[in-house]
Copies of this chain bind each other. A is one copy, B any other.
């Protein structure tokens, strides 16, 4: 998931692996222009779109996990907020418009250096359908969630907690670590 850095993206020189002054970790450093190339975890922003007790899930049309189900989510882009990223991904994957309601979960996946940020959202209308990255999109009741056909452990964990929360008077914000 994390690409190697062989050359300096600034000047094109070969980089060296070294610990910069005042730091503690090995970095790719350019001996020509002295640029330090930091690599950091990526944010996956998504939401659980709700409509009268049902939620909108997408079946993936792309690898990894083609054919498996997920809520709309994808990599956050430069210059947007996590809420905007979650709404954008929902529009791209499910052709759906949502209004972000509340922060539902923040999960770290250190083994792939990803952080999932998941919101609860209100689906604005029933005019939805598969975007290019989805095979199909379905509005389904909690009891119809296809537990053995979910795309990733983080999707399963989030929806598992969500299903439990629907039995509770007050919804909480979840956080923690998803192991490999």
**CB closest residue in chain B, given A105:** B103
> Which one, A52-60, A75-83, A141-149, is touching chain B?
A75-83
Do the beta carbons of B42 and A40 come within 8 Å of each other? Answer: yes
In the complex with contacts A22-B132, A106-B103, A106-B117, A78-B7 CB distance below 8 A: no
CB distance from A63 to the nearest CB of B (A): 13
CB distance from A161 to the nearest CB of B (A): 14
Do the beta carbons of A78 and B41 come within 8 Å of each other? Answer: yes
Say how many copies of this protein the assembly contains: 2
Question: In the complex, what distance in Å separates the CA atom of A6 from the CA atom of B79?
Answer: 20
Which of B3, B83, B106, B115 has a CB less than 8 Å from the CB of A9? B3
**CB closest residue in chain B, given A78:** B113
> Which one, A10-18, A65-73, A151-159, is touching chain B?
A10-18
Do the beta carbons of B76 and A40 come within 8 Å of each other? Answer: yes
Interface size class of A (residues with CB under 8 A): 35 or more
- B-chain residues with CB within 8 Å of residue A39 when the two chains form the complex: 78
Question: In the complex, what distance in Å separates the CA atom of A80 from the CA atom of B108?
Answer: 8
Taking the complex as formed, is A167 at the interface, i.e. its CB lies under 8 A from any CB of chain B? no
CB distance from A75 to the nearest CB of B (A): 6
Question: In the complex, what distance in Å separates the CA atom of A45 from the CA atom of B22?
Answer: 20
Taking the complex as formed, is A123 at the interface, i.e. its CB lies under 8 A from any CB of chain B? no
Question: In the complex, what distance in Å separates the CA atom of A42 from the CA atom of B40?
Answer: 6
Do the beta carbons of A110 and B81 come within 8 Å of each other? Answer: yes
Instruction: For the A-B complex with A40-B77, A83-B177 known, give 20 more contacts whose Cβ atoms are closer than 8 Å.
Output: A3-B35, A4-B9, A7-B7, A7-B10, A7-B12, A9-B15, A39-B78, A40-B78, A41-B78, A43-B43, A43-B115, A79-B110, A80-B108, A82-B115, A82-B175, A83-B175, A84-B108, A103-B173, A103-B175, A115-B117
